[in-house]
Amino acid sequence: MAIFLDSSADPRFADYRDLNSSDRRPDARGGKGLVIAEGNLVSERLLHSRFPVRSIVGFEPKLSNFLALPGVQEEIARRDIPVYATTRDTLAEVAGFDLHRGLLAAADRPEPLAVEQVIGSARTLVIAEGVGDHENIGSLFRNAAGLGVDGVLFGAGCADPLYRRVVRVSMGHVLRLPFAHLEGGYTTWQRSLEQVRAAGFHIVSLTPNPEAALLKDALVDETGQAYEKVALLIGAEGPGLTEHAMRATDIRARIPMAAGTDSLNVATAAAVALYERARSLS
């Protein structure tokens, strides 16, 4: 089933070449704009996602283990995806570093989802502003998938959610959880929150400000009932949300913190907030 490639110069390796090169990497949004999955788990999730897979490459025994996963060979055959086998050294020459996971898959980026497609049937959303760290974006998606989020929306200044490191850190959940980008620049994107509010969402901005409402109180109405639809707005490490963004939300909320501390990592804070949201619904 797999075609063996023994030369790193083989043109069929083109989608995987120079993965760690900042100006030539194939997953850069401004270049080939591919999506690269690493390892069996993430590659399997890519294979079963909406992303058009271009090829799969790996070395033994990693490739054999992947092909033995339930439904993988059937899906590869159905979509007519080329599979390449090679050696560990050859793949390292191609990618520019040793790939101990031993398996890569490449896919095209599909047409971006529209905001209305993400929020249409959603009950819980995360909205990010200025989150520029790829690992935080990846962790955010992993936490969101585990805590019942229906979609993620991006305001201005966020990292590319389909960058290779994001895909890896998210454990492939960025390929499964729908996301979209809100329109506008740094000082204008907040107007797009009206589209979210018009869809019935109660919008909560997270802040360490001690004058903000407690998070548990911000997620329920005056009768103590959980809001049917909630969108949680999170900001960048350090500066947090802009004042423009917080003014566009319905309430500002804080996570209670121990004395001497004022905040959590953004992905951790989102996880705490999402747990509280899930608890309010139970």
Which pLDDT score is estimated for 22? 63
Given a cut of 80, is residue 73 above it in pLDDT? Answer: yes
Q: What pTM does this model have?
A: 0.94
State the DSSP H helix or E strand holding residue 126, giving kind and residue range, or none if neither: strand 124-128
The sign one gets for the Cα dihedral 128, 134, 138, 140 is negative
pLDDT 10s digits, 122-144? 999 999 999 999 999 999 999 99
| Average pLDDT of the residues of the chain | 94
Over the stretch 162-219, which tens digit does the pLDDT of each residue have? 999 999 999 999 999 999 999 998 889 999 999 999 999 999 999 999 999 999 999 9
C-alpha distances out from residue 243 to 128, 176, 207, 237, 239, Å: 14, 32, 10, 15, 10
Query: 31-35, 109-113, 181-185: lowest mean pLDDT where?
Result: 31-35
